[in-house]
Amino acid sequence: MAVCARLCGVGPSRGCRRRQQRRGPAETAAADSEPDTDPEEERIEAGAAALSGAGGGRSAGPSSPPRCSLLELPPELLVEIFASLPGTDLPSLAQVCTKFRRILHTDTIWRRRCREEYGVCENLRKLEITGVSCRDVYAKLLHRYRHILGLWQPDIGPYGGLLNVVVDGLFIIGWMYLPPHDPHVDDPMRFKPLFRIHLMERKSATVECMYGHRGPHNGHVQIVKKDEFSTKCNQTDHHRMSGGRQEEFRTWLREEWGRTLEDIFHEHMQELILMKFIYTSQYDNCLTYRRIYLPPSRPDDLIRPGLFKGTYGSHGLEIVMLSFHGKRARGTKITGDPNIPAGQQTVEIDLRHRIQLPDAESLRDFNELSRVVLEVREQVRQEQEQEGRPEDAEGLGQQSPQPCEEPPAEPAQAPGDGGAVAAAEPPAQSGQGQPFVLPVGVSSRNEDYPRTCRMCFYGTGLIAGHGFTSPERTPGVFVLFDEDRFGFIWLELKSFSLYSRVQAAFRNADAPSPQAFEEMLKNIQSLTS
């Protein structure tokens, strides 16, 4: 009541109509207008006049300045004031009195809220043709589905994924982001719409599934709980193709891999591709998504954290999130495979142990590289024993679940080009580089890797059998090339993964706090541990 009294300028009057319970924007937008004359409102104004006149005879001193009531302001000024308030505050304001509620029916207010809160820059006046008001757009579309905006990881077993739900014009669209075709790690991300929500001729939002090749069709979105929602397709026949499963598989293969099965000569890769198609096809009618955040950045980070595309042998390209945690950096899988599923920590870098490699010529022998790395691993082991930590807990805080590091989860392939890893003494900020060539016998899916690196660090990677069986962390070398690319040499597999930064701009993806980001990492890892 005190808040209403200040708004009306009359003190604790019984004429204030603000109720204790709060209404949602949808209820406010749909509230029926009341008659222009309101006896209680007239009583408020009369009380305000009486209070103004009563102040003069109380003392001989100077009279207090007259109190001004919001009710006395012209409607056009009240529109400007109300339009500057957050949309979530307007329902309470509408309950103060009839005059405020009438003014809050002005579309100018809601047009500004749509623009400032959700970035809707479209000319909302064209909605008048369909009979949809800006209040409808705000209350029944934007505000109602605000909780699904942001970055999400779909629950597709070990494969995961990356979804960004954004306001796009007068639509809310869920865009699924896919890595480029293997092995072109520097190519831009691909994306396709999975669903969209819009408010057109009807007074309630329409959800449409965009999966398949027969156009938009009826769908459903349900907010399961905080930071989790699900989508469901109500017309799965739109996902089917006339040529049956064989045509669907060929189409999926061209979209997912950019080639036909006949172009893939590696038998193991053919099996993995077919397995992924069969598994992911089970989720074409219903999916659950869990919120993820982009990692926070700190001034002392080695490079800017974020999302990277990485090569993972026969599994193709996968998306990894690089984040920094004090003296350690971690790469967490956003998309995964049957060996190392999404959510697991594929690599971990010990920033306290810089690997000082000899000249490139001496390191053409893989055994020399192995000797240097294993010496560093022994040093790390001794330090951990002194700190009272087991080697398995390397890089983990006491409150974090055990991180996992992962390499291309497959046997080493044919040897790649000969070469060696060069030591990188200058700091990353110096911009100076050292020659870099892969040692003889180390395979790489992408031979077009940088031939200059800034520095190297000791790290560990997670390897496991099919189904994430017998996971173990093995030593490796983290190679920093530049601000947007790094690599990892999996010592045990004699394999090299190249990572390139995802340049797409994701909206509503920042973590509210560092603690929220750490909690998110623990949650997505616990789902697959």
**What pLDDT does residue 122 have?**
67
Find tokens 């350690």 and name the residue. Answer: 328
**What pLDDT does residue 129 have?**
63
Residue 496, phi then psi, degrees to nearest 5: -130, 130
- What DSSP assignment string belongs to 378-405? HHHHHHHHHHT--GGGTT--TTSPPP--
Ramachandran area for residue 307 (φ above 0: left; ψ -120 to 50: alpha; else beta): beta
**What pLDDT does residue 525 have?**
87
Q: Which helix (H) or strand (E) holds 218?
A: strand 217-225
Are residues 162 and 263 located together in one domain of the fold?
A: yes
Confirm if 179 and 191 have CB atoms less than 8 A apart.
no
Instruction: Please report whether residue 32 resides in a domain.
Output: no
Are residues 153 and 112 located together in one domain of the fold?
A: no
Q: Tell me how far apart the alpha carbons of residues 317 and 311 are, in angstroms, rounded to a whole number.
A: 5
User: Which two structure tokens, joined as six digits, stand for 402?
Assistant: 């055990």
Instruction: Please report whether residue 416 resides in a domain.
Output: no
Instruction: Please report whether residue 114 resides in a domain.
Output: yes
Sorted by sequence, the CB contacts under 8 Å of residue 122 that are 6+ apart come out as 169, 170
Are residues 238 and 196 located together in one domain of the fold?
A: yes
Domain containing residue 107: CATH number: 1.20.1280
Q: Which of 289, 307, 339 is the last residue of a domain?
A: 289
The answer, yes or no, to whether the previous bond of 435 is cis (omega within 30 of 0) is no
Q: Tell me how far apart the alpha carbons of residues 152 and 258 are, in angstroms, rounded to a whole number.
A: 25
Are residues 235 and 267 located together in one domain of the fold?
A: yes
Are residues 278 and 337 located together in one domain of the fold?
A: no
User: Which two structure tokens, joined as six digits, stand for 232?
Assistant: 């469901």
Sorted by sequence, the CB contacts under 8 Å of residue 497 that are 6+ apart come out as 310, 311, 312, 407, 408, 445, 487, 488, 490
> Could you list the pLDDT tens digit for every one of the 529 residues in the chain?
444 444 444 344 334 444 444 445 444 444 444 444 444 445 444 443 443 444 444 444 556 666 767 777 888 888 898 889 988 888 888 888 888 888 888 888 888 898 889 988 766 666 666 677 888 888 899 999 999 999 999 999 999 999 999 998 889 999 999 999 988 999 999 999 999 998 876 678 899 999 888 889 999 999 988 899 999 999 888 888 888 888 988 888 888 888 787 777 678 888 999 999 999 988 888 999 999 999 999 999 999 999 999 999 889 999 999 999 999 999 999 999 999 999 999 999 999 999 976 676 766 778 888 999 999 999 999 998 888 765 554 444 333 333 333 333 333 333 333 333 333 333 444 446 788 889 888 999 888 899 889 999 999 999 999 999 999 999 999 999 999 999 999 999 999 999 999 999 999 999 999 999 999 999 998 877 6
Instruction: Please report whether residue 426 resides in a domain.
Output: no
Are residues 112 and 153 located together in one domain of the fold?
A: no
Q: Which of 235, 256, 289 is the last residue of a domain?
A: 289
Q: Tell me how far apart the alpha carbons of residues 230 and 236 are, in angstroms, rounded to a whole number.
A: 16
**What pLDDT does residue 6 have?**
43
Confirm if 53 and 81 have CB atoms less than 8 A apart.
no
Q: What is the pTM of this model?
A: 0.78
Instruction: Please report whether residue 484 resides in a domain.
Output: yes
Q: Tell me how far apart the alpha carbons of residues 117 and 138 are, in angstroms, rounded to a whole number.
A: 10
Are residues 208 and 329 located together in one domain of the fold?
A: no
Q: How many domains does the chain have?
A: 3
Are residues 116 and 153 located together in one domain of the fold?
A: no
Summarised one tens digit per residue, pLDDT across range 85-117 is: 988 888 888 888 888 888 888 888 888 898 889
Are residues 214 and 325 located together in one domain of the fold?
A: no
The per-residue b/e assignment along 330-348, b for 16 or more CB within 10 angstroms, e otherwise, is bbbbbbbbbbbbbbbbbbb
Are residues 177 and 311 located together in one domain of the fold?
A: no
Instruction: Please report whether residue 456 resides in a domain.
Output: yes
**What pLDDT does residue 385 have?**
87
SS3 of 485-529: the string is EEEEEECCCCEEEEEEECCCCCCCCECCCHHHHHHHHHHHHHCCC
- Closest alpha carbon to 197 in 140, 129, 123: 140
Instruction: Please report whether residue 371 resides in a domain.
Output: yes
Q: Which of 269, 289, 309 is the last residue of a domain?
A: 289
Summarised one tens digit per residue, pLDDT across range 154-171 is: 999 999 999 999 998 889
> The domain containing residue 87 runs over which residues?
72-122
Instruction: Please report whether residue 343 resides in a domain.
Output: yes
Domain containing residue 488: CATH number: 2.40.128
Are residues 188 and 307 located together in one domain of the fold?
A: no
Are residues 306 and 328 located together in one domain of the fold?
A: yes
**What pLDDT does residue 50 have?**
40
